[in-house]
Amino acid sequence: MWHQSFGLLGKSYAHDTTGSFFLGKWLRVPLYPVSLCSAVVDVAIQDYVADVAAELIYQNKSQTSTEVLFVFPLGPHMAIYSFQARSEDAKVHAVLQDEVQQPHEATGGWENLEYLRDQSEYPGEAFACFLGTLSPGREVVVTLRYVQELPREPDGAARFVLSPTLNPYGTLYVWNCRTSKLHYSLLLTASLQSPRGVVDVQANFALTPLIYTAQDHSTAQAPLLQVSLAGSPQCHHDLELLVYYGDPTAVSAVVEKGDPEAPPGSLLGDPMVLVTLAPSIPEAVPGQRQSGEFIFLLNTTFLEHAQDSLLFLLKSLPLGCYFNIYCYEETSVGIYSQSVEYTQDNLTEAMRRIPSTGSSLGDSNLLETLRSVYNTPRPHRHPRQLFIFMAGLPPDVEAIAAEVCRHRNSHRCFSFCFSEDSAALAMALAKETGGEAAYVSSDSSRSLVVLKCLKQALKPAAEGVSLSWTLPRGLEVEVLGGTPQSIFQGQHNLLYAQIHGQAQDTTVAKGVMTLQYSLDGQDVTYTIEFPLCPQGDGRLAGHRLAARCLMKRLLPESVSGSGEEPRHRAVEISLTSGIICPFTSYVGVRTPQRVTWYQRPLALLPPRQSLIPCQIVELRGSRISSCYPKSIWVPPGWLTAVRASWLALRQLTHDIAALPQRRACSKACKPPPPLFSSLKYVDPMEFGLCSSTLWRWCPEAAAKCQELVALQNADGSWALSSGLASVLEVDEDEIKGKMPDEVMEPSIWATVMAVTWLHRHDEYYQDLCELLEAKAVTWLCSQAVSQLDKCLETANTLLGSSVKPSVFRL
């Protein structure tokens, strides 16, 4: 196998056949990396976006001619906008084209991409371009440009990681033959910009001093790394850069000037404001009242086989929230006409109305149910979150995905699948809305998986998020993709807002943006100024990422029957920005560098161009061969949605159904473009939350725990009853007789007993009952803090346990 860094790969028919792969029927094609001689990388970072320009020089150091394939793995939130390669013989340029018209189509070399797709060691998405044959000793120079959204660290730093292709550290693989020797030079330079000022730069490699190019330290530049690596590699890790800005706040804005050559009013022509929303949200105390709307969409399989999971899920909800339940294979109408407050009466009624089994065999009403949910008003200042359970692949997949995408700013989806064929849709819905997806592989892991997602959903949020703008007359702002209504703890949102028009008052040099939201019932406001005449290097990273964002938003309109206009607009944006979209595709144009002379008549003819394979491919990973019977296939996020047109979603149902029978295309067949038919393999241990954290499961203990949870009230308390005594395996009269005299309310004593019993068996119940216990302890602390010491001492004696006072926050 080769290293995940990829780069330039070659195949040669003169090599030994060890580790080779049969392509088609008889052809053996070994694949190995071509030597990287040097890499020059220039990075421009503006707040939380980066533009990267790289020049890579490779040399064929073998004794035979080699067919070469350039492979560049695409990380999250990354998009290539320019690629070309040149050698002494030819120049290759990647060109975008309208997929429907397809004026150009490569005629050969597709087997190389299909081979790469199947035989890569790691799954993921990659840009791949076939460059032809490289003679011994010859070099090829690859020039690559891409843009990338950068993650924001908890302390506010922007984190940039150099792609392994540009820094191929560690061991390279030549199939089963390893070599640990690298010989190449790397020059990395970076320019940094932020209106808040660049305060500090940290890295996991030696840095040269920063050179500030503005008095206010808003811009800086430096040759950060210049090193020659030979022999054993100097490092075995990614090169990481942390950029710290002044005064981390809930909102920041960087203005990027437009392209002077683009027409005014166009996406590239007008200035773009890069807005980062990152409210400071404190941790919530477990078990306390909390806002939020939780809507559960249950299918037949969940109703028949997961009543215990539903019990834990509903009992773990906090007071103060709203909830509703839809059994969407029965009806698209909720148990309640709209979400109701989480109280004991409403919870009891909901449990009574939920059918124990379903009559439908398919997810026939999921689309109608989603539309019903979205048409129902949500409670004021309660962020909406959906828990969707799927057993099989529902019909109308493209319409479901479009419906969720259309409402992505108003909610989060936590999706759960019980079979492999629904895993693709589950992951897509979760990623689109910022939620999580989970594959439930066994009955014993189901409750844990669901509760782990609920813990994520219970993180506090800034609610009612809104942006307002103050600009000179004649200017207006358009937020591409809209503004999210809620921002949860640990999240940050990068928005793109474009300034249109011509200012009537040219003396006003700044605009004002105001962020407002509600946190714990308190209104919060931030105001920030930004320049109306920005400076910049003209690299347009923000504009290109905005194009990527806007094209993504146009997809639901193309599915909903809005005509051809959304598609035409997406194609136009793609071709002008250089960022691929679901309606465009790459083709490689190869132009010979040498001219051709003819003797009769004597003439100099222009070079003849040829077309070669060049596309985004979804690498399936070699682990599929050993894990195939248990494999889970999921669609990647936007990086493959770049190629995953909604038109291809209609093909998804058939592709997944035929997956076990489908194998690699033969050499003579052009492989299908990597739409949703090219799905990504994800190991069950990596697909969201799975059974790797399972506690030791005991059926008898599980039954006892379920009985105890069923008796708990919505506020977290237990009543002193014969049912509780039966679970605790203590006589009811003895429990009543041992109740401390200081306790005036029997439910206080019963709740202490229940929590103590749970902690006596915490090796079984710790993960399952964490939320339930927190709610119970919160209730106890609000009722009788002074009585808890004596209650705990007596409960420990009665149950033969040694639970510590800290459990009750004493």
What confidence tens digit (pLDDT) does each residue in 73-98 have? 888 789 999 999 999 888 999 999 99
**Half-sphere exposure for 665 (CA within 13 Å, toward CB):** 17
pLDDT of residue 173: 26
Q: How many angstroms separate the CA atoms of 791 and 742, rounded?
A: 9
Q: Whose CA is closest to 570, among 587, 550, 589, 556?
A: 550
- Min mean pLDDT across 296-300, 315-319, 360-364 is at 360-364
pTM of the full predicted structure?
Answer: 0.82
Q: What percent of the chain has pLDDT over 70?
A: 75
Helix, strand, coil in percent for the chain, rounding step 5: 25, 30, 40
Q: What is the pLDDT of residues 713-739, one digit of tens each?
A: 999 999 999 999 999 999 999 999 999
Residue 4: its pLDDT value, please? 39
Token readout for 276 is 């980062």
Query: What dihedral do alpha carbons 530, 535, 541, 542 form, nearest 10°?
Result: 20
Top pLDDT among 738 and 3 is at 738
Q: Residue 596 corresponds to which amino acid? A: T
* Distance from C-alpha of 443 to C-alpha of 447, rounded to nearest angstrom: 8
Structure-token pair, residue 710: 């069923």
* Mean pLDDT value across residues 758-785: 86
Of 662, 636, 654, 657, nearest to 582 (Cα)? 636
Q: What is the pLDDT of residue 108?
A: 55
Q: How confident is the model at residue 693 (pLDDT cuts 50, 70, 90)?
A: very low
Q: Are 346 and 314 in contact (CB under 8 A)?
A: no
Q: What is the mean pLDDT of the chain?
A: 78
**521 pLDDT higher than 50:** yes
Residue 546 to residue 498: CA distance in whole angstroms: 9
pLDDT digits 0-9 by tens, 193-251: 888 888 888 888 777 777 887 777 777 775 555 544 443 334 456 788 999 998 777 88
Between 599 and 571, the more confident residue is: 571
CB atoms inside a 10 Å sphere around CB 358: 17
pLDDT digits (tens, 9 = 90+) for 157-177: 999 998 877 766 432 222 222
The answer to whether 485 touches 410, Cβ cutoff 8 Å, is yes
The DSSP string of 734-764 is HHHHTS-TT---HHHHHHHHHHHHHHHTHHH
Measured CA to CA, the distance from residue 131 to residue 590 in angstroms comes to: 8
